[in-house]
Amino acid sequence: MQPDESQYLKCRTGDIDVHPTEKALVVYYEVEASILGEAGNARHEEKKECQKIIRLRSLNASTDVSALARKVVEECKIIHPSKLVEVEHLLLYLQNRKKGSTLILHLACNPDNLEELSSSLARVLREDWKHSVELATTIIYVFFCFSSFSQFHGLITHYKIGVLCMNIIEHELKKYDLWQDELEKKKDPENQSLRKEYEKTLKKYQSLLVKQEQLLRVAFYLLLNLSEDTRTELKMRNKNIVHLLVKSLERDNEELLVLVVSFLKKLSIFLENKNDMAEMDTVEKLACLVPCEQEDLMNVTLRLLLNLSFDTGLRTKMVHVGLLPKLTALLGDDTYKHVAMRILYHISVDDKSKSMFAYTDCIPQLIQMLFEHGEERMDTELISFCINLAANKTNAQIICEGNGLKMLMKRALKLKDPLLMKMIRNISQHDGPLKQLFIEYVGDLAAQIKQEGDEEFVIECLGTMANLTIPDLDWELLLKEYNLVPYLKDHLKPGSAEDDLILEVVIMIGTVSMDDSCAVMLAKSGIIPALIELLNAQQEDDEFVCQIIYVFYQMVFHQATRDVIIKDTQAPAYLIDLMHDKNVEIRQVCDNTLDIIAEYDEEWGKKIQSEKFRWHNSQWLEMVESRQMEDAEPYLYGDDPDALEQPDLFYSTAIYSTDNITSVMYLYQYNSTTIFNTSQKST
């Protein structure tokens, strides 16, 4: 402050109220500090809202309230003498409030009084709850104490206290909206008079809000205790309890929020409640609570989000409202890491959401966690999460950056961990540079296949190798060096191993058959008859059938193996039988394979063409017959006795030239779509 300036303080007394829980008065006042210039004008002004609590320890049933009021006004300089009568009334209220509470508690100590006491309190609450928030809070608190014991739930339900509490909550929430609207109308920083009125209203609003939130808290707590009975909970749901709870998430009171979120978490395990929460945009409101400093609130919010994350639509909404980076940041916090990871795992199940992880630091954190486990088996949640993420190409590229793939392979081969190998297998399915990274590891993978050990681990090794459809890989050398052909043939026999392993062997053969010399080697080893035998055994399993036919498709590309299939086996006959299978993919692979066979073998070409014509002709005839029946149907039950004498009614729609019959054959178009391996799935 400059020498020519002086300071001026001004105090304005506001409202005086009773303390909600203690024997005390709360005085609200405003201090205005001004710095006056040499001319006496205010050069700088500052306002601060304050409150003073006057504790009245000597107040009891015999206290002279008038004398105490005068003493309070005399000693507290911020209370104007004109407030004496108001202070006396407040002290009188405090004196009676204490007496009333003491009497109720004294009566409640005797179990014989509980029923009569409950009846009286229920009547007072029903008649007077709108007149006093404090009264409603006190009475509901008494019933809340009763509700802590299941034995009293019947008594509380009998007097319909739960229904009354829900009505009170609904009323208070509507009142809160009105307060908000009133404040918004008076909020005009440029208008000085409105600004003062706004500040006054805001102060009053804050005082009322404290009382209202105390009421909401005891009312919700009472309902939470009563909801132990699922029948009572259903009645609450029918009365829209979810709506009331979600609406209360807009509050700032942490104790109230902990209660509300806990209640929602309890309700969320039922489908109907979960659907109500989805309609109320609950996820958007919960996203505002993550992160928060209050540990209990943070924990219960994350657990509610975990329950909601089982729903596909709500998982998508979590991504849209920006929860992904928030949850990722919690992976570094031991307090919340596990529940955050479970939510993220659920989100990673959806293919559309997988790519979003690439734009956070989630993947580097997960890889670090993987390598921190040493030689111990990893947490199932952690590795399952990584498996899902690896199914996305962009995520897989981030995983493999630097020595990522090398470290994963080293760990997987050392620990023989099937889940870690499944993650590697998902990485290997992506076309482009990622597959090239596996060339230096094919020898290690082939060596694992021949070893006796964990069958699940061998399945993942086979699946990884089967994904490596790259031209730079010398499959012939690999098969010879590790003597894999006998292994593959032996594991085609039905019952030689688990079906999952046999299927991976078939897929592996399909990949290897892309190489001309390997296809010849496999054909000479007698694998084609073994495949036909397996086809007969697994003809009801569409995945097996599709993959075996795909092997035939690959082999008919090569001259040597094509001749073996056409001349030495009955594979074409099996393919013709499967031309009209119900499975679309099987039909497609069959058509493509038969097209190649028909092109190179005239005899089989005629048989294939004849079968295709026969099939399409039968379909055409069925269509004609169905049309005849449709056109004839209106006349079958008519009242006209001469109706059957009109042959054109039956034959007019069935007049086709022979050209129409033969044209069916020419309308058929051959497909050349290649069926690729489709065995990789998210966990």
Whether 425 has a pLDDT exceeding 90, the answer reads yes
Place of tokens 């008919």: 556
Q: What is the pLDDT of residue 19?
A: 79
Select the more confidently predicted residue: 101 or 540: 540
pLDDT per residue over 662-683, tens digit each?
333 332 333 333 333 433 444 4
Q: What is the pLDDT of residue 43?
A: 57
| 258 confidence band (pLDDT: 50, 70, 90) | very high
Whether 123 has a pLDDT exceeding 50, the answer reads yes
Select the more confidently predicted residue: 573 or 246: 246
Whether 237 has a pLDDT exceeding 80, the answer reads yes
pLDDT per residue over 645-655, tens digit each?
444 433 333 33
SS3 category, 496: coil
CA separation for the pair 67, 475 (Å, rounded) = 104
Measure Cα distances from 552 to 324, 476, 535, 607 in Å.
46, 18, 12, 18
Q: Which stretch of 107-121, 156-170, 292-306, 519-533 has the lowest confidence by average pLDDT?
A: 107-121
| 36 confidence band (pLDDT: 50, 70, 90) | low
Whether 547 has a pLDDT exceeding 90, the answer reads yes
Select the more confidently predicted residue: 102 or 383: 383
Q: Cα-flanking dihedrals φ and ψ of residue 10, to 5°?
A: -135, 135
Q: What is the pLDDT of residue 236?
A: 95
Q: What is the pLDDT of residue 40?
A: 57
- Kindly state the percentage of the chain with pLDDT values over 70: 84
Whether 390 has a pLDDT exceeding 60, the answer reads yes
Q: What is the pLDDT of residue 117?
A: 82
Rounded mean pLDDT, 273-283: 94
Mention every residue, 6+ apart, whose C-beta is less than 8 A from residue 585.
542, 546, 675
Q: What is the pLDDT of residue 110?
A: 67
Q: Are 412 and 420 in contact, with CB atoms under 8 Å apart?
A: yes
Rounded mean pLDDT, 3-26: 72
Q: What is the pLDDT of residue 173?
A: 95
Measure Cα distances from 564 to 486, 545, 597 in Å.
19, 20, 12
Q: What is the pLDDT of residue 643?
A: 42
Whether 192 has a pLDDT exceeding 80, the answer reads no
SS3 category, 148: coil
| 302 confidence band (pLDDT: 50, 70, 90) | very high
pLDDT per residue over 499-537, tens digit each?
999 999 999 999 999 988 898 898 888 898 899 899 989
pLDDT per residue over 465-508, tens digit each?
999 998 888 898 999 999 999 999 999 988 888 999 999 999 99
Whether 637 has a pLDDT exceeding 60, the answer reads no
Q: Are 22 and 11 in contact, with CB atoms under 8 Å apart?
A: no
> Mean pLDDT over all residues of the chain?
84
Q: Which of 353-357, 449-453, 606-610 has the highest mean pLDDT?
A: 353-357
* Burial of residue 631, with CB atoms counted within 10 A of its CB: 0-12 exposed, 13-18 middle, 19 or more buried: middle
Q: What is the pLDDT of residue 606?
A: 85
Q: What is the pLDDT of residue 35?
A: 65
Whether 102 has a pLDDT exceeding 60, the answer reads no
Residue closest to 668 by CA, chosen among 548, 586, 603, 580: 580
Select the more confidently predicted residue: 563 or 41: 563
Place of tokens 């006496």: 40
Q: What is the pLDDT of residue 512?
A: 92
Residue closest to 574 by CA, chosen among 600, 544, 594: 594
Torsion of CA 321, 322, 326, 327, to 10 degrees: 70
Place of tokens 């070409």: 605
Indicate the CATH number for domain 481-620.
Answer: 1.25.10.10
Q: Are 581 and 541 in contact, with CB atoms under 8 Å apart?
A: no
Q: What is the pLDDT of residue 42?
A: 55
Q: What is the pLDDT of residue 332?
A: 92
Rounded mean pLDDT, 600-622: 77
Provide the 10 A C-beta neighbour count for residue 226: 22
Q: Which of 91-95, 104-108, 478-482 has the highest mean pLDDT?
A: 478-482
Q: Are 370 and 378 in contact, with CB atoms under 8 Å apart?
A: yes
Domain limits, CATH 1.25.10.10, in the chain: 481-620
H-helix segments, 150-270: 153-158, 161-186, 192-226, 230-238, 241-248, 254-267
Q: Which of 63-72, 164-173, 485-494 has the highest mean pLDDT?
A: 164-173
Query: Does this model's pTM top 0.85?
Result: no
